[in-house]
Each structure stands twice: as C-alpha cells, then as structure tokens.
Amino acid sequence: MTEYGFYRGSGAAWQRALPPELQRIGLFPCGRLDKNTLGLMLLTNNGELAHKLLLPRMHVAKTYAFSCKFPLHAEDVAQLSSGVDIGGYVTKPCTVLPDAEGKSGTITITEGKYHQIKLMFEAVHNQITALERRCFGNLSLDPCLDRGEWRYLTDEEINGLKNCICKE
C-alpha cells in the first residue's frame, strides 16, 4: 500500500472522507489548513518525509489562491514579497501575483506559520476573504477531485515530493 494520499477539502473533514481501512493505518496531514482555508492536503504515514517537507529551511513551496477585501497596490505586493512582520516574526520572501484588479491572485510561501497568509495581509492593512491551497511542492490540486474527495499519489508524484526538499 502506498503511504501517501491526496485530499481536496478543509480541516479535519479528511478523516471522514477516507474508507475505514485507511483510517486505521495512521495517516495524518502533512501540515494543516486553517479553519476557513480549502484545498490540497497531503496525507501520509511517513513522519520523516512529512517533517522534512514542513521544515522552513527545506524551502518547499506552497501556493495559495487568494481573494482579499481591498485591491493590492504595488507597494503592498512589494512589502508582502520581501517579508512583513506578523507579530514579532518577519516572514521570508515570497511570490505574490495579483490579478489586474488586485483583489485576487496567488501567493507562494516556503514556510507555514499559524495563520501566516492572513496575518501577512493584515500587515498591509488588508483582509483575506478566501484562501485555497493549490500547490504543495511538486503537487498541484487535482481538478478531477471534488471537495471532500481523495486519491492515491502516483509513484511520480511521490518521487517528486522526495526530490523537492533541499538536501541538508
């Protein structure tokens, strides 16, 4: 049996989505999605790999689609991209790609502090209204999955995850 799964949803609902035989093998989420965040969640029973994928020094990218309350201006994007103070911690540089209107886009981070993206937008006097994880490392959200559905990862995806972590 493969030790990796792929789920599209939110929060702890992933446990209810799995068949009983997979609920019993000790799967856990690699990282978390905040209460109001949707999207890709990696499920695994490989603690060592999960730990490495989540270490900020491994620089594993996580990309989110966002919507925000106010349009982002060039200064906001520059601040977010270079790192902002989110309560005593300055975030690492990231990539912010707003749409033409500035009220939605994507943000790619390589760390995952508690409520990080929401706090980053608050630091530039804005507010996240919707957030969905679209990518985790080499994995992209499977468009064939509806919310609450899951699938096994392919061997190629598993190898890609193993290769996307920086070598210590």
- Residues annotated catalytic, as ranges: 34
| Separation CA 44–CA 47 (nearest Å) | 8
Distance of CA 70 to CAs 1, 89, 94, 98, 140, Å? 47, 24, 20, 12, 27
Rounded to the nearest 5°, which phi and psi values hold at 92? -70, 160
Residue the block writes with tokens 């209810």: 16
DSSP letter for 90, please.
Answer: B
- Residues 92, 85 contacting (CB under 8 angstroms): no
Round to the nearest angstrom and report the end-to-end CA distance of the chain.
29
DSSP category for residue 59: -
